[in-house]
Amino acid sequence: MKINILTLFPDMFSVFEHSIIGRARNSGILDITTTNIRDFSASKHKKVDDYPYGGGAGMVMSAQPVVECIKAVKQNNSGKVIFLGPRGKTFNQEVAKEISKLDEVIFVCGHYEGIDERAYKYFDLELSLGDFVLTGGEMAAIPIIDSICRLIPGVLSSEESFVEESFYSGLLEHPQYTRPEVFEDESVPSVLLSGHHENIRKWRRKMSLRITKERRPDLFQNVKLTKEDIKLLKEYEKNVD
């Protein structure tokens, strides 16, 4: 996948030079490039913001450098232009899956108190990380891009690495354990030591269902329960009683 990030602060994305994403870039699976919006300012002093018409606190990002930056990047990237802003669709795992299927994509990071409305016609999609305020679009872009990239074939070591993770199946992930077998008098659940793969699978599914129902009922209500799921939940509730 080719990803272009349009930003006023390219250095913030050095995080993608490390770990899993860094390895995927080195192997050629991911092509992540940052472009400084400031380089496209028509202002003598490379100014990219100004006071809002009508008054108000803060500065507004000018349309001119943003639009010119998009036009320049579009010469080598024909993908959708995604703006990170508060009016956008809330990002989730389903959105991540859809974007991960694209070959090319462009992310635009806003900053200051907002962006000139006239730039919006150049955006194909606006995404929000959630109902809270960040200092800039860069802060939202990093987790969104990471979430998308790890779904691309070859980025993780195996498909299983993300298929069983939280949110991928609509459920929170089951508890995980590693050595030692006993830590502070607490033992690893015996089923995980049994070597019985079917029982382990059922236990993990049961735990995912239970944890999601208890901690994220909003997610749980959208899960299509199978006959086995209903049986596993009844087993858990019976043992709790």
110 assigned binding-site residue: yes
> Is there a binding annotation on residue 156?
no
Q: Is 129 annotated as a binding residue?
A: yes
The closest of 138, 80, 79, 90 to 112, measured between CA atoms, is 138
Q: Is 130 annotated as a binding residue?
A: yes
C-alpha–C-alpha distance, residues 104 and 65, integer Å: 22
127 marked among binding-site residues = no
Q: Three-state secondary structure along the chain?
A: CEEEEEECCHHHHHHHHCHHHHHHHHCCCCEEEEEEHHHHCCCCCCCCEECCCCCCCCCEECHHHHHHHHHHHCCCCCCEEEEEEEEEEECCHHHHHHHHCCCEEEEEECECCCECHHHHHHCCEEEECCCCCCCEHHHHHHHHHHHHHCCCCCCCCCCHHHHCCCCCCCCCCCCCCCCCCEECCEECCHHHHCCCHHHHHHHHHHHHHHHHHHHCHHHHCCCCCCHHHHHHHHHHHHHHC
Q: How far apart are the first and last CA of the chain?
A: 50
123 is in an annotated binding site: no
Amino acid at 180: P
For the annotated binding site, the residues are 110, 129-134
For the annotated binding site for S-adenosyl-L-methionine, the residues are 110, 129-134
